[in-house]
């Protein structure tokens, strides 16, 4: 089987797995629009001190290939997938799923819809290549890149700036902290780790992660002014208060 065939089959399998968790249905968001192009500065210029430092850090990150952090990042390729849902459950200390906590699942899906558009608009506007494009070692934890093949098709696999995972992690962490204040530190820490793991995966530059969080924080500030969002958070909080407890320390 040639490498292109492997790529197609790999993406199809991962997409199927993603449907297990939050659902591939994308409900409309709450309307918390932000102007990503106006909000974000351009990514570090080629040849700048920051860009050179990020390239050096990427090259050095090859030492982490196959590490536990690398494998964790590989499980998180799809932010709406089953593995990420399980991580959210552990951070909350409650079993979260469309079946057990439908209000919470819908809240997260709608918040994701609000941040998805500005992230994609910024990616298209800045069209920054991912770090494996042009790297001496193009291996990543994401099967869709398949090393050298990914380096030749990086643009079609989406651009780097800002990181969608970092944006999702940040805005979900902040939202869940409102719905489960007793777990606020844990869910915020989980959200930041989701973004940081994309650097460990070797598919993002650190400045991509920072930009994703900047967008998420702006969208979250806007969300908090919307009555529909506040009502949805209250519904999720009520639901989570009686959700099945979960102790991941024993897993």
Which pLDDT value is given to residue 135?
A: 82
8-state DSSP, 245: B
Which pLDDT value is given to residue 109?
A: 94
Q: Is the pLDDT at 102 greater than 70, yes or no?
A: yes
Summary mean pLDDT of the chain = 86
Which pLDDT value is given to residue 36?
A: 96
pLDDT band at 112 (very low <50, low <70, confident <90, very high): very high
Q: How far is CA 170 from CA 85, 134, 145, 156, 242, in A?
A: 15, 29, 25, 25, 25
**Cα(166)–Cα(58) distance, integer angstroms:** 18
Domains present along the chain, CATH in parentheses: 3-250 (1.20.144.10)
Which pLDDT value is given to residue 145?
A: 75
**Cα(175)–Cα(187) distance, integer angstroms:** 9
**Cα(194)–Cα(203) distance, integer angstroms:** 13
The per-residue pLDDT for range 39-90, each reduced to its tens digit, is 999 999 999 999 999 999 999 999 999 999 999 999 999 888 899 999 999 9
Which pLDDT value is given to residue 244?
A: 85
The per-residue pLDDT for range 157-204, each reduced to its tens digit, is 579 999 999 999 999 999 999 999 999 999 999 999 999 999 999 999
Q: What is the CA radius of gyration of the chain?
A: 18
Q: Per the structure block, which two tokens stand in for 146?
A: 């398949």
Q: How many residues does the chain have?
A: 251
Count CB neighbours of 65 within 10 A: 14
**Cα(123)–Cα(155) distance, integer angstroms:** 10
What whole-number percentage of the chain has pLDDT above 90?
72
Please return the burial class of 206, using the count of CB atoms within 10 Å of its CB with bins 0-12, 13-18 and 19+. buried
Helices 206-223 & 49-60, crossing angle to 10 degrees? Answer: 110
**Cα(67)–Cα(73) distance, integer angstroms:** 10
Which pLDDT value is given to residue 6?
A: 31
Q: Is the pLDDT at 98 greater than 70, yes or no?
A: yes
């Amino acid at each position: 089987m040639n490498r292109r065939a492997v790529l197609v089959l790999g993406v199809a399998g991962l997409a199927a797995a993603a449907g297990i968790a939050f659902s591939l249905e994308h409900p409309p968001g709450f309307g918390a629009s932000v102007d990503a192009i106006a909000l974000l500065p351009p990514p570090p210029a080629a040849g700048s001190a920051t860009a050179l430092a990020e390239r050096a850090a990427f090259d050095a990150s090859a030492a982490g290939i196959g590490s536990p952090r690398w494998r964790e990042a590989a499980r998180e390729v799809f932010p709406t997938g089953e593995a990420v849902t399980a991580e959210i459950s552990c951070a909350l200390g409650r079993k979260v799923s469309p079946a057990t906590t439908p209000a919470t699942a819908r809240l997260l899906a709608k918040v994701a819809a609000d941040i998805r558009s500005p992230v994609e608009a910024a990616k298209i506007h800045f069209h920054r290549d991912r770090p494996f494009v042009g790297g001496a070692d193009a291996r990543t934890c994401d099967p869709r890149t398949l090393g050298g093949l990914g380096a030749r098709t990086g643009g079609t696999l989406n651009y780097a700036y800002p990181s969608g995972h970092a944006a999702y992690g940040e805005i979900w962490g902040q939202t869940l902290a409102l719905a489960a204040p007793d777990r606020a530190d844990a869910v915020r820490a989980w959200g930041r780790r989701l973004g940081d793991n994309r650097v460990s995966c070797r598919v993002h530059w650190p400045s991509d992660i920072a930009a994703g969080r900047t967008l998420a924080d702006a969208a979250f500030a806007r969300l908090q002014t919307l009555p529909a969002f506040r009502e949805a958070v209250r519904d999720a909080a009520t639901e989570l208060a009686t959700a099945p407890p979960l102790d991941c320390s024993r897993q």
